[in-house]
Structure 1
Amino acid sequence: MAKNQKKYPIEFKEYVSKLVVLDGRKQVDLCNELKIPYDTLQKWVSAFRKKQQEAEKANQKQLLT
């Protein structure tokens, strides 16, 4: 049973995630506008936030040394 999954470019995922995290757009609104499943967008946003946290930790470690 194959799912009909659409592949999105990494740049698009990051751009949409930034709209949610940095610009404060609502995930529900973006899902409706861009025809993206809600759970898919949640995964992108979660991964983007984790990436941001890791970058911040790395930056702090660099400042301490």
Structure 2
Amino acid sequence: MSMRDVVKVTAHLRHLERDFAAYDEAYRAFFAEPCPVRTTVGSGLMGILVEIDVVALLPGPALPG
């Protein structure tokens, strides 16, 4: 799989207001248009600055109909 297969991104930023612009710039560099849907939230995860998870869709045969 590759970044082209990603359909959803969830990002937790410790300092949402301060770091969102830099995160958005990196996000747009990693994903081609149309970018996957995303949720970005401020979160204090045990002192972690950034945590990102993605959902990817494994390419397969087209569904009938």
TM-score normalised according to structure 1 size? 0.24
More RCO (CA 8 Å, sep 6+): 2
Higher helix share: 1
Q: What TM-score, normalized to structure 2?
A: 0.24
Q: Which has the higher strand share?
A: 2
